[in-house]
């Protein structure tokens, strides 16, 4: 495995990739294989290793510290905004006219407001996503996710994979495994769910995970099931929305019962996309759960806080001051905001039509593959303007972030290839409050996703990116290049 002869170096990379994929299989870093029709419904059938970066991505430690410091601030902000029902309803009033999905969510939210429904126990498992903008050398927020934040289970294992590879091939890489920060997201998420279960205080109750009928990312979810059972003695049941509608009821005292099991916590890993509601049965289930006394993660109000339109509203001058008092914390949050605009702003729309590459057009959708980029931004805006009315309200415009691209080795389906890539950092956060007592407000691990720089979208489950981890450094930005492939020695 010489580092001077190109062929030998390439062979060394292939050996490392084989070691990595074998390690994935042995340690549960797996997803369902799309080629197997049963892989999304039958556990243990049709497994492949999760798509991964062979080595971690570099990030200056100062930006890592900044992102971690922001997590509890965003947790608190989500809770504060969720309490202002009128703000949510008013901010999304135009969006609901042209977006049926948002409208249905708002209908449920309004029913809870009219009923004066109180959520004494409030649980949020969030993820704030960032990119490092090369134009300004600043960490800018892409979005704040409040429902079904994925990969806390698998991303925790990627960290250990990269530490293992660095230790195993240290003579070739010249990297320090201690510079890969630990990632305990899955255990921390399970701990937060368990704490909420404790606060509900019904020993026979279960945690109910709401899942899609076909879920190839089920193993990420099963890590949480494992830790809830082994570390906290709590049983988890998995149900689709349609199963909840068929098997569920709310008792007179507000208790949610599904298939004769009392439910303490409803944890949503589905319900964030219109595709999850193919019939009225699914909407009935969502309303049923919201009417119950079970802890919802997220509640309908937390869900709405995570919409793109609310993100854009919070970026307006003086809006954060409506919800937060600490000026220093407000300044820290505002510092990471990218440019965000309503399509009511004619000057910005005109600018985006003239310079579409500088903007991203975002609809009220989650899950990857929904945003509009480049020339398509111009085409979409011209079409929306012609349609008139409230059509523009279904979208927001966001400043496009330009991270620095670097070479990295990506492994998908057992095949390793080198490409120019960019990375996106997500910081997980957990927030739990019972009435006035804040029980948890903290960061709890991270998700690093790396994608080919020519790809606009970044979802792993959607097939655009791979799972990655961090390599903290003082100043170098970008993925750790697979040095043995290039025939060069590395510097920490």
* Rounded Cα–Cα distance for residues 319 and 302 (Å): 18
Is 190 among the annotated ligand-binding positions?
A: no
User: Following CA atoms 73, 344, 307, 291 in sequence, which dihedral angle do they give, to the nearest 10 degrees?
Assistant: 110
Q: Among the options 423, 449, 458, 478, which is catalytic?
A: 449
Both tokens of residue 160?
């250990």
Is 187 among the annotated ligand-binding positions?
A: no
Q: Among the options 150, 156, 293, 423, which is catalytic?
A: 150
Is 326 among the annotated ligand-binding positions?
A: no
Q: Among the options 75, 145, 292, 299, which is catalytic?
A: 145
Is 12 among the annotated ligand-binding positions?
A: no
Per-residue burial over 287-308, b if 16 or more Cβ lie within 10 Å, else e, is bbbbbbbbbbbbbbbbbbbbbb
Is 149 among the annotated ligand-binding positions?
A: yes
Task: Give 198's contacts (C-beta < 8 A, 6+ positions apart).
Answer: none
Is 449 among the annotated ligand-binding positions?
A: yes
Contact by Cβ (8 Å): 411, 393: no
Active site residue 321: no
Active site residue 187: no
What kind and span of H or E run contains 36? none
DSSP 8-state symbol, 203: T
Q: Among the options 96, 248, 366, 458, which is catalytic?
A: 366
**Distance separating the N- and C-terminal Cα atoms of the chain:** 21
Is 366 among the annotated ligand-binding positions?
A: yes
Is 367 among the annotated ligand-binding positions?
A: yes
Is 43 among the annotated ligand-binding positions?
A: no
Is 104 among the annotated ligand-binding positions?
A: no
Is 460 among the annotated ligand-binding positions?
A: yes
Is 269 among the annotated ligand-binding positions?
A: yes
Active site residue 150: yes
* Rounded Cα–Cα distance for residues 195 and 459 (Å): 30
Is 272 among the annotated ligand-binding positions?
A: yes
Is 461 among the annotated ligand-binding positions?
A: yes
Q: What are residue 361's DSSP bridge partners?
A: 372, 397
Q: Among the options 362, 378, 433, 443, which is catalytic?
A: 362
Active site residue 366: yes
Q: Among the options 32, 76, 94, 143, which is catalytic?
A: 143
Strands (E) across 1-152 are located at 30-32, 47-49, 52-53, 57-60, 121-133, 138-145
**Burial of 406 (C-beta count, 10 Å sphere; 0-12/13-18/19+):** buried
Q: Among the options 58, 96, 122, 127, which is catalytic?
A: 127
Is 356 among the annotated ligand-binding positions?
A: no
Is 308 among the annotated ligand-binding positions?
A: yes
* Rounded Cα–Cα distance for residues 290 and 256 (Å): 10
Active site residue 39: no
Task: Give 184's contacts (C-beta < 8 A, 6+ positions apart).
Answer: 156, 444, 445
Q: Among the options 187, 195, 239, 308, which is catalytic?
A: 308
Both tokens of residue 10?
């390439």
Is 401 among the annotated ligand-binding positions?
A: yes
Active site residue 418: no
Is 239 among the annotated ligand-binding positions?
A: no
Is 150 among the annotated ligand-binding positions?
A: yes
Other Cβ atoms within 10 Å of 3 Cβ, number? 19
Q: Among the options 339, 367, 459, 487, which is catalytic?
A: 367
Other Cβ atoms within 10 Å of 90 Cβ, number? 11
DSSP H helical ranges for 212-322: 218-232, 241-247, 280-291, 300-305, 308-314
Is 431 among the annotated ligand-binding positions?
A: no
* Rounded Cα–Cα distance for residues 208 and 243 (Å): 12
Chain centroid to CA 183: 15
Active site residue 163: no
Task: Give 260's contacts (C-beta < 8 A, 6+ positions apart).
Answer: none
Is 487 among the annotated ligand-binding positions?
A: no
Is 216 among the annotated ligand-binding positions?
A: yes
Is 365 among the annotated ligand-binding positions?
A: yes
Is 267 among the annotated ligand-binding positions?
A: no
**Closest by alpha carbon to 63, among 261, 336, 259?**
336
Is 413 among the annotated ligand-binding positions?
A: no
Which amino acids are annotated as binding site, given as ranges?
Answer: 127, 143, 145, 147-150, 215-217, 221, 269-272, 308, 362-371, 373, 398-401, 424, 449, 451, 457, 460-461
Q: Cite the active site residues.
A: 127, 143, 145, 150, 308, 362, 366-367, 449
Which amino acids are annotated as binding site for Mg(2+), given as ranges?
Answer: 143, 145, 366
Which amino acids are annotated as binding site for substrate, given as ranges?
Answer: 127, 147-150, 215-217, 221, 269-272, 449, 460-461
Which amino acids are annotated as binding site for ATP, given as ranges?
Answer: 143, 308, 362-371, 373, 398-401, 424, 451, 457
């Amino acid at each position: 495995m010489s580092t001077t002869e190109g062929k030998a170096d390439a062979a060394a990379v292939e050996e490392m990739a084989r070691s990595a994929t074998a390690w994935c299989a042995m340690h549960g870093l797996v997803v369902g294989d799309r080629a197997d029709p049963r892989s999304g419904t039958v556990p243990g059938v049709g497994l492949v290793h999760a798509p991964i970066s062979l080595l971690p991505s570099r990030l200056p430690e100062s930006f890592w510290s900044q992102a971690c410091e922001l997590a509890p601030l965003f947790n608190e902000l989500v809770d504060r905004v969720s309490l202002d029902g009128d703000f949510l309803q008013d901010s999304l009033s135009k969006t609901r006219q042209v977006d049926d999905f948002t409208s249905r969510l708002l209908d449920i939210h309004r029913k809870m407001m009219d009923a004066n429904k109180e959520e004494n126990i409030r649980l949020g498992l969030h993820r704030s996503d960032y990119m490092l903008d090369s134009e300004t050398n600043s960490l800018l927020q892409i979005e704040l996710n409040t429902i079904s934040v994925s990969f806390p289970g698998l991303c925790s294992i990627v960290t250990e994979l990269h530490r293992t590879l660095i230790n195993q091939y240290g003579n070739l890489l010249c990297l320090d495994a201690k510079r890969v920060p630990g990632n305990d997201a899955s255990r921390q998420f399970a701990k937060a769910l368990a704490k909420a279960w404790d606060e509900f205080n019904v020993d026979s109750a279960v945690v109910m995970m709401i899942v899609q009928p076909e879920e190839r990312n089920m193993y990420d979810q099963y890590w949480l099931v494992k830790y809830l059972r082994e570390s906290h003695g709590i049983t988890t049941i998995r149900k689709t929305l349609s199963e909840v509608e068929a098997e569920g009821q709310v008792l007179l005292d507000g208790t949610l019962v599904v298939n004769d099991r009392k439910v303490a916590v409803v944890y949503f890993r589905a319900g964030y996309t219109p595709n999850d509601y193919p019939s009225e049965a699914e909407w009935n289930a969502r309303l049923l759960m919201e009417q119950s006394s079970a802890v919802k993660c997220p509640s309908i109000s937390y869900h709405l806080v995570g919409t793109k339109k609310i993100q854009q509203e919070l970026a307006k001058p003086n809006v954060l001051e409506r919800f937060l008092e600490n000026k220093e914390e407000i300044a820290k949050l505002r510092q990471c905001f990218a440019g965000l605009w309503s399509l009511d702003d004619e000057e910005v729309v005109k600018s985006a039509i003239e310079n579409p590459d500088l903007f991203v057009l975002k609809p009220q959708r989650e899950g990857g593959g929904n945003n509009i980029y480049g020339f398509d931004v111009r085409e979409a805006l011209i079409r929306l303007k012609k349609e008139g009315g409230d059509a523009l309200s279904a979208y927001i415009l966001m400043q496009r972030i330009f991270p620095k691209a670097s070479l990295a080795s990506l492994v998908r389906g057992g095949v390793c290839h080198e490409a120019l890539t960019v990375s996106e950092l997500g910081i997980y956060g957990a927030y739990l409050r019972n009435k006035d007592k804040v029980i948890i407000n903290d960061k709890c691990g991270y998700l690093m996703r790396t994608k080919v720089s020519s790809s606009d979208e970044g979802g792993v489950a959607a097939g655009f990116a791979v799972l990655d981890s961090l390599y903290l450094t003082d100043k170098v930005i970008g993925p750790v290049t697979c040095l043995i492939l290039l025939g060069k020695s590395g510097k920490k």
